[in-house]
Amino acid sequence: MEESIRRFCAYGMEYKDHEGYTHDWVTLLPAVQLAYNTSQHSTTRKSPSLVERGWNPLFLVDHLKKNLLTIHPTAKDFHDMWKRAFDTSSKCIAEAKEYNKQWYDKTHMEPHFKEGDQGTMQWRLDSEEFSSKHPVFPLSLVKPYFQTGDDKFPSRKKTIDPPEVVEVKDSPGPVKNIIKARRIRLNGKDQTQYLDIFKN
């Protein structure tokens, strides 16, 4: 949309009436909006208005009869100006689509998945709701998952340290509860100290 408006504004000097008056291009933005909403998009193969509302709005040319003698010259000039704006904006939208498609296809590669492949997703799916609505998920939200061997990256292995054997001298009794624990370094060795509550 931004690219189409940028191209449309470059044609601002072309919209003149029979007196040579150049209209403000801001008043012609509804024609750009109408052209964008009624243009067929490559992703859905339908226009945004047809997808959202179920119908395409009619243009002024569909209501104005050209052969009538009672058409006011100002209305005809406004109709012709809107028609040129609609045609130009449709051309700008097509050029913007082709421009964006060219740069997108230059660096984009579709992921290739087959049945049984694993992938990382940024969404959590509800299987029951997903199957009842529309059982299709966009591949743009899925990235292939490649599992690396642990032998190539030994530092990635998660090693669990065995629990330390603590010898309590002069213990008043069995331990009832451990309140806190801290890890300190004494004499060059890491040690864990516990604050306990003993029974009795």
pLDDT digit string, tens, across residues 10-38: 655 555 555 555 556 666 677 777 878 88
91 part of a folded domain: yes
pLDDT number for residue 98? 87
Place of tokens 């040129």: 84
Among 59, 69, 65, residue whose Cα is nearest residue 30: 59
* Chain centre to alpha carbon of residue 196: 53
145 part of a folded domain: no
19 part of a folded domain: yes
Are 102 and 168 contained in the same domain?
no
101 part of a folded domain: yes
Q: Among 65, 81, 107, which residue terminates a domain?
A: 107
170 part of a folded domain: yes
Q: Among 107, 139, 170, which residue terminates a domain?
A: 107
112 part of a folded domain: no
Total tally of structural domains belonging to the chain: 2
- Domain hosting 94: range is 2-107
Amino acid letter, 132: S
Identify the three-state secondary structure at position 144.
strand
Are 102 and 32 contained in the same domain?
yes
pTM of the model: 0.32
> Using one digit for the tens of pLDDT, what is the confidence trace for 2-11?
666 666 666 5
